[in-house]
Amino acid sequence: MEKANWWIAKYPENRRQSAVIPILWLVQKQEGWVSEPAISAIARLLTMPQIRVYEVATFYTMFQLEPVGSAALIQVCGTTPCMLRGSEALMAVCKAKIGPKDKLSSDGLFTWQEVECLGACCNAPMAQINDYFYEDLTPETMAQIIDDFAAGKAPQAGPYNGRKTSEPMGGATTLSDPKLYDGSAARAIRIPNAPEKA
pLDDT tens digits, one per residue of 14-64: 999 999 999 999 999 999 999 999 999 999 999 999 999 999 999 988 899
pLDDT value for 43 = 97
pLDDT band for 178, please (50, 70, 90 cuts). confident
53-62: Cβ within 8 A, 24+ apart: 53/20, 53/24, 56/20, 56/21, 56/24, 57/24, 60/21, 61/113, 61/115, 61/116, 62/25, 62/28
User: How many Å apart are CA 124 and CA 57, to the nearest integer?
Assistant: 27
Tell me what percent of the residues of the chain surpass a pLDDT of 70. Answer: 94
CB burial of 37-49 (b: ≥16 within 10 Å; e: otherwise) equals ebbebbbebbebe
3-class secondary structure, 152:
coil
Taking 80 as the threshold, does the pLDDT of residue 71 lie above it?
yes
User: Mean per-residue pLDDT for 86-115?
Assistant: 96
Up-side HSE of residue 153: CA atoms within 13 Å toward CB? Answer: 9
C-alpha to C-alpha distances, 186 to 172, 194, 195, nearest whole angstrom: 22, 19, 21
pLDDT value for 119 = 92
pLDDT band for 90, please (50, 70, 90 cuts). very high
Q: What is the CATH number of domain 72-159?
A: 3.40.30.10
User: How many Å apart are CA 97 and CA 18, to the nearest integer?
Assistant: 40
121-159 pLDDT, tens digit each: 999 999 999 999 999 999 999 999 999 999 999 999 999
User: How many Å apart are CA 106 and CA 98, to the nearest integer?
Assistant: 8
Q: Which residue has the higher pLDDT, 187 or 45?
A: 45
| Residue 159: closest CA among 146, 147, 141 | 141
User: Mean per-residue pLDDT for 178-192?
Assistant: 74
User: How many Å apart are CA 78 and CA 89, to the nearest integer?
Assistant: 11
pLDDT value for 175 = 66
CATH 1.10.3470, applies to 2-59? no
pLDDT band for 180, please (50, 70, 90 cuts). low
User: Mean per-residue pLDDT for 171-197?
Assistant: 72
pLDDT band for 84, please (50, 70, 90 cuts). very high
Instruction: Read off the pTM.
Output: 0.76
Burial classification of residue 174, based on how many CB atoms lie within 10 Å of its CB (0-12 exposed, 13-18 middle, 19 or more buried): exposed
99-103: Cβ within 8 A, 24+ apart: none
Gap between the terminal Cα atoms of the chain: 75
Delimit the domains of the chain by residue range: 2-59, 72-159
pLDDT value for 62 = 86
